[in-house]
Chain A
Amino acid sequence: MGKWKKKHLIDVTDLSEDELSGVLDLAAEFKEKGFGREPLKGMTVANMFYEASTRTANSFAQAARNIGCATLNFSKGSSSVSKGETLGDTARVIEAMGVDGFVIRHSAPGAAKLISAIVEGAVANGGDGRHAHPTQCLLDLMTMRGNNGGFKGLKVAIIGDILHSRVARSLMAGLGKLGAEVAVAGPSTMMPGTLPDGVMRLGGIEEAMGWAKVLYFLRIQLERQGRPLIASLREYHETYGLTAERMGSLKREQLIMHPGPVNRGVELAARSADCGAARILEQVANGVYVRMAVLYLLLSAAKGREVSIG
């Protein structure tokens, strides 16, 4: 049993094992019993989305409303996020409107950290460049825990573009912290030179399927084709995708996860996203609970209210 003290969530690496479990427990409580706590009435969360992401933005907005907060939405191209203003200026302006918490999604690694050093309010990183995506990690952990019970001995294979993925970076860190076994597979053109301690590289998808209980497929960024790292999407599907044929050879206990949105026919065969092994919609649902828990804890800490965790 401890008290939650942090008002910023930049990456899961900032959280102790107890804090990680604490967020997951709180999210599970919200999922099972609904939000039975005193709503954070009168508080406002600003969603600053410099990168297009309807999904994450909506999930955060829904989460904020569920815990009693109002939301303000700023997206790239809206007048408040204007050219010539530094990120710091924009954050100050938004804070001056009476905002208590910030969710920021940005293409620059370190963007959330930069804002957290400037504003008084709470800051949740909604994804910063290739660096980190802590709430995605937390919702993935929640989904894995819900399906597996715990992390001891859980084998997770992350498949795809590890090098350019904040999802992979945060997930490797979070799973490592909780004691799961983690491996990666993907084209060498999409692999970092060094992997975190304890993370192994598998030879390919067949090896991953033979080894892992959870097969976590990363979304291929189609828009990265300006600097091509793979020959074609069809070859990627054949080499690293969950083809219809591979789907047929899945073992009963194996799970398919994906951060979404799925490129059907690329990472996953057209039908496999809907198969019994897929936990993709469950991930989306858990995303709201996890973000409720994160916003609730961060905003409470920012206002000096004590919340017990663990």
Chain B
Amino acid sequence: MADLLIKGGRVIDPVQGLDKVMDLRLGKGRVVEMGERLAAGGADVIDAAGCIVAPGFIDLHAHFRQPGHEDEETIASGAAAAVKGGYTTVCVMANTDPAIDNEAGVEFVRKMADAAGLCDVLPVAAATLGRGGEQITEMHRLRKHGAVAVSDDGAPVRNAALMRTILSYAADAGLPVLDHAEDPELAGDGIMNEGEVSDITGIPGVPQEAESVMVERDAALAGLTGGRLHVQHISTGASVDAVRRARGKGWNVTAEVTPHHLLLDERKLETFDPVYKVNPPLRPAAVRALLLEALKEGVISAIATDHAPHRDEEKELDLLEAPNGMASIECAFSVLYTGLVEEGRLGIGELLAALTSGPAGVLGLEDRGSLAAGKRGDVTVIDPAGTWVVGEGGYASRSSNCPYAGMRVKGVVKATVVRGRVVYGG
């Protein structure tokens, strides 16, 4: 395979503190060098003039639905959506049917990802068999076969003693525990944030404490066990406080936030449109601002999409029956760039860190998340001035339950490069 020369782009690498117009050369699947006016030699060339050249995006949280719900997404269609969104690495959750809870499942995900040949798809295995919350999985084996973390995402670990065991055992196996923090009794039958809007609409509410009491519990258990805890889709101020306190004590606790918890708020539910139904639910605007602050502060170190595709006809289900989740992986960068960077609320370097080095750090993926020489040749090229309309011309995903559909956004992914090979655009 020929080398790839990405010419004349604004190279931003938060890890190296780099933001400069330069050329970047990739070869043998790795970053070779960067510098001004590099000779093309026999390399293929991408003209990146006017574009941002960043490390490939890493998504810590996506649902590609395979096996079991191929009508909603497959690993191939999910990967196609991911590279369209500039992602070069995606971690997929285990809440498939059957759940990914043994080495065959992990191997299956990797095989499907290889066959798709687009981005790196890293399996997150279930923490308990069948995500049933009873028997822990064979985490040593799972890791050997390619799992990068364990999580029962979608289902909280209700039993505190079991969570203690999971954290302890996963630490032995060298795996982080990704935590869907939710107290199911406190959440009850709620489907939106409990507050002013739920009071007016009568839509059953979930108090913010349904999340934060579990984050408090699990942070304490991370302290007890020395385990590696990563809080998924963090969505409340009290949860952020708990993570900040735990980190202050030197415990191994990190957190991710979703684009929708940064960009959308509970008022969207005034429409009763199930596209805004998501768990954890959209919060008040003030909480949205708190989460952004926590991201800038570093208490939250990654933005993860929680890409959750659902069949189109599910939009016509009533609000109680409609499933939770939003499909957003192909527009995540653009909506974040438009809503945060263009608005002056977040620096482009901060956004890129949350999409690259931040998530790499959460999983300890040392071979990516930066453009330093020797790292994987995973690169995303973005035209920051380009605009497009989300959903216009269809989705690469098999589903279209996207809350940003119809929005004109800025920031077009011009090329996605995985291991030195252009897998999207060019």
Contacts and interface: CB of A to CB of B under 8 A. Distances in A.
A binds B: yes
A68 B276 CA distance: 41
Contacts, number: 67
A186 to B, nearest CB: 14
Task: Please tell me the size bucket of the interface on A.
Answer: 20 to 34
B272 A113 contact: yes
Nearest to A106: B318
A299 to B, nearest CB: 24
Nearest to B313: A86
Nearest to B321: A108
A181 to B, nearest CB: 20
Task: Please tell me the size bucket of the interface on B.
Answer: 20 to 34
Tell me the interface secondary structure of chain B in the complex. loop
A232 B358 CA distance: 53
A60 to B, nearest CB: 20
A129 B316 contact: no
Contacts of A193: 194-196, 199
Interface string B180-218: 000000001000001110111111100000000000000
Interface string A84-118: 00111100000000000000001111110110001
B320 A196 contact: no
Tell me the interface secondary structure of chain A in the complex. loop
A104 to B, nearest CB: 10
A227 B316 contact: no
Contact of B188 (A194, A196, A227): A227
A162 to B, nearest CB: 9
A108 B199 contact: no
Contacts of B196: 193-194
User: Which of B188, B319, B320 has its CB near the most chain A CB atoms (within 10 A)?
Assistant: B319
User: Which of B201, B202, B313 has its CB near the most chain A CB atoms (within 10 A)?
Assistant: B202
A20 interface: no
Contacts of B198: 192
27 contacts: A86-B314, A87-B317, A88-B316, A89-B313, A106-B318, A107-B318, A108-B320, A109-B320, A110-B273, A110-B319, A114-B318, A118-B316, A129-B202, A129-B203, A130-B203, A130-B204, A131-B201, A131-B202, A131-B203, A131-B272, A163-B199, A166-B202, A169-B202, A192-B198, A193-B194, A193-B196, A194-B199
Given A86-B314, A129-B202, A130-B202, 15 more contacts: A86-B313, A86-B316, A88-B313, A88-B316, A89-B316, A108-B320, A109-B201, A109-B202, A109-B203, A109-B320, A169-B200, A193-B195, A194-B195, A194-B196, A196-B200
Interface of B: 188, 194-196, 198-204, 272-273, 313-314, 316-321
Q: Top 5 nearest A-B pairs by Cβ distance?
A: A110-B272, A88-B316, A130-B202, A108-B318, A131-B202
Interface of A: 86-89, 106-111, 113-114, 118, 129-132, 163, 166, 169, 192-196, 227
